[in-house]
Amino acid sequence: MEAQHMPGLDGPALALEIKRAQAVTMRERLRSTIITNACISASALCVVAAGRGPVFEAVLWLGALLLSIVVRGMVGVILTKWDVLEHSPQAALDAMTVGALISGLVWATLPWVLPGFDATGKDATLYLMMIGISTGAVLMGIGHSPISLAFAVPPHLSVMISLGMSGGVGGPLLAINVLALTLILIRSSRISQAIFVSNVSGKLQATALATSLSSANGDIMRANDRLEVLANCDPLTGLANRAAFNTALLTGIEEARTAGHQLALLILDLDRFKSINDTLGHSAGDALLIEVGERLRASLEGPGIAARLGGDEFAVILSGPHALEDSRRLAQAILDRGRQAIMLGGQPAVVGASIGIALYPDHATTGEDLFVAADMALYRAKDGGRRQWREFDPALRSQFDRRHQVEQDLGAALADGEVEVWFQPQVCLNTHRVVGFEALVRWYHRELGPVSPPEIVAAAQAANLSDQLTATVADAACRLLKRLPDLGLPSATVAVNISPREFDFYCVTEILDSITAAHGIDPALFEIEITEEAILDTLVAGEQLKMIERSGYKLAVDDFGAGHSSLAYLVQLKVDRLKLDRRFVQGITAKENQEIVGAMAGLGRSLSMEVLVEGVETAEEAEALRALGVEMAQGYHYGRPMPVERIESWLADRVVVPQKQIA
């Protein structure tokens, strides 16, 4: 009979505990069973001796039985000493079953070892003793039916067979009675075992349930203690958590309303926190969050509340008559501290932050609206290049709505081919030959009108579509590269811009390798433009830039001179081309700019790097750049960005009328 499964113990665990209880019970009764067995066997020998006199076969039988009893006793000692009852209860039960079977078989031989056994006469007493000891074994062995029956059944079978062979009518009738008794004992033994199992199961379940309830109660108490700690505190940084922040914001607004003061809310978001987690592991990410929490506390000189809202998002609440000025100073202090390197994964890393500021009651009158306003300002700071702070501007609401719609519609636009790729030519200043094109995205939204490339890139990042956008541009670039030999430009390159922020989200090289291989394009003709920001951010971009180099793509640094590139790293990465920032062209007539451009051109030559200047709009600018040693140029003076369909006609017109500008 199987024990009914109840809550508290699962099936296998409950079955194991029942087996242990059975093994322990049968082991405890083994001693009394052995003593009883020995006494009755000695009594049987006395009965034989009284009726027959000394019989060698009877003595031999008693010796065999006593030997089996000794073996059973030794097995019991071993089971206890080796703790088999606890670790392998089924093995213990099997061992005791074998011992009982051996004793039962020895008892079963008694009618057959005595010469001239008289089943219904002088030896009938031995039958009674055999039946009695077998029945007693069943009554005593209620914990485990197989052990009891292993001992009881062999003597019963022996009695039935010998009675059946005794002749006459009485012997077979008695054999039938013994058979009936045997069946009753078997049924009784199984019922007794089922009752035992049921009782043990109930007891175990009750104990397990009590233990479970006690454990659950302890867990609840510990959870309550933990909840009290977590109710107002972020466990990692020790700052206020989001729940405490929400309460403080509502309370602060109410107090500011009563006192007629301002309340400033700053929302801070770390730059590229996800990439640090992915690159260096979560332990490094946690270490960064802890350090940011410490720096927030250090920057917060006066009264205020700093909180971690979750992930890498933090917030600060400042109130008082000078809340706006205090928030500006605090934001700048946070950014200044953020320029200090942090040791992450055994290497120094500078992790910047973007901050959005909103003011009560100027920008919003409720906590929820104030948070939304600060969040809009935060996004404005991110869009502006990160590592800066921005205040909320009412115009941001319409910009927010526009950005949201662009993000919502970009996926469908990419799928439907609405996002186009145009190309702007790049020209050699000395030979006037076209040496390449730069791929630029264009999208005319049906409702919003033209969407600028920075908007498209930002929307792709926000909507997790950066890889699709890159694939779209790369595919168009490869299609143009396949056409250029037919247009007389077999060595012309096509450049594709890759934002360093995209390195956080996907493997750029895998996408480019797949597309260039599909089109059969030589990677040396495919140029990848990155900004100086990627050169500086070796923690995130370093490995991907090395992969780009290993794949054989041409590498260009865009807007060179606008940042602080490491020359050593430029050489290490084997940069092929420097694209000078267009602001140097706008003031090319000034001596200072001429010296800078000339120096950069010389730097490029010394490092075996091509130098290209963007934003060239007049012939005078082109000539001045050529005189300064610049090799290539790009700008409206040569050609505006154009769809791929116009390139062939533009080239033809340019050959016919070299000085013509194509608008």
| Least confident interval from 52-61, 251-260, 288-297, 448-457 | 52-61
Range of the domain at 482: 417-654
Same domain as 80, residue 120: yes
pLDDT digits (tens, 9 = 90+) for 40-98: 888 888 888 877 777 788 888 888 888 988 998 899 899 888 988 888 999 988 999 89
Q: Is the pLDDT of residue 565 over 60?
A: no
Q: Is the pLDDT of residue 656 over 60?
A: no
Determine the pLDDT at residue 657. 39
pLDDT digits (tens, 9 = 90+) for 489-538: 999 999 999 887 787 788 899 999 999 999 999 999 999 998 766 665 55
pTM for this predicted structure = 0.53
Determine the pLDDT at residue 660. 42
Determine the pLDDT at residue 263. 95
Give 177 or 276, the one with higher predicted confidence. 177
Same domain as 386, residue 441: no
CATH value at residue 634: 3.20.20.450
Q: Does residue 663 lie in a domain region?
A: no
Cα gap 50→387, rounded to integer Å? 111
- Position 382 confidence tier, pLDDT thresholds 50, 70, 90: confident
The mean per-residue pLDDT over the stretch 162-180 comes to: 82
Same domain as 423, residue 372: no
Q: Which of 192, 211, 230 is the last residue of a domain?
A: 211
Cα gap 63→473, rounded to integer Å? 98
| DSSP label at residue 371 | H
Same domain as 423, residue 345: no
Same domain as 53, residue 191: yes
Same domain as 624, residue 568: yes
Same domain as 343, residue 472: no
pLDDT digits (tens, 9 = 90+) for 572-629: 667 889 888 777 777 776 777 788 888 888 888 888 889 999 989 989 889 989 998 9
| Least confident interval from 180-194, 203-217, 351-365, 376-390 | 203-217
Same domain as 144, residue 76: yes
Determine the pLDDT at residue 306. 92
Same domain as 384, residue 471: no
Same domain as 307, residue 191: no
Mean pLDDT score across all residues of the chain: 85
Q: Which of 349, 377, 392 is the last residue of a domain?
A: 392
Cα gap 661→658, rounded to integer Å? 8
Q: Does residue 216 lie in a domain region?
A: no
Q: Does residue 153 lie in a domain region?
A: yes
Q: Does residue 400 lie in a domain region?
A: no
Question: How many domains is the chain built from?
Answer: 3
Same domain as 462, residue 531: yes
- Please give the span between the terminal C-alpha atoms of the chain, in angstroms, as a whole number: 93
> With pLDDT > 90 as the criterion, what percentage of the chain qualifies?
33
CATH value at residue 310: 3.30.70.270
Q: Does residue 234 lie in a domain region?
A: no
Cα gap 287→461, rounded to integer Å? 26
Sequence length of the chain is 663
**610-613 and 577-580: which strand pairing?**
parallel
Q: Does residue 228 lie in a domain region?
A: no
The mean per-residue pLDDT over the stretch 223-238 comes to: 78
Q: Is the CB of residue 271 less than 8 Å from the CB of residue 333?
A: no
Q: Is the CB of residue 97 less than 8 Å from the CB of residue 146?
A: yes
Q: Is the pLDDT of residue 540 over 60?
A: no
Same domain as 598, residue 468: yes
Q: Which of 211, 229, 256 is the last residue of a domain?
A: 211
Determine the pLDDT at residue 248. 92
Neighbours of 156 (CB within 10 A): 24
The mean per-residue pLDDT over the stretch 291-309 comes to: 87
Q: Is the pLDDT of residue 450 over 90?
A: yes
Q: Does residue 398 lie in a domain region?
A: no
Determine the pLDDT at residue 551. 92
Cα gap 315→421, rounded to integer Å? 40
Both tokens of residue 221?
């108490």
Q: Does residue 397 lie in a domain region?
A: no
| Least confident interval from 34-48, 159-173, 282-296, 470-484 | 159-173
Tell the residue number behind the tokens 């007049």, with chain if given: 618
Dump the DSSP string for 137-167.
HHHH-TT-HHHHHHHHHHHHHHHHHHHHTS-
| DSSP label at residue 393 | -
Determine the pLDDT at residue 530. 86
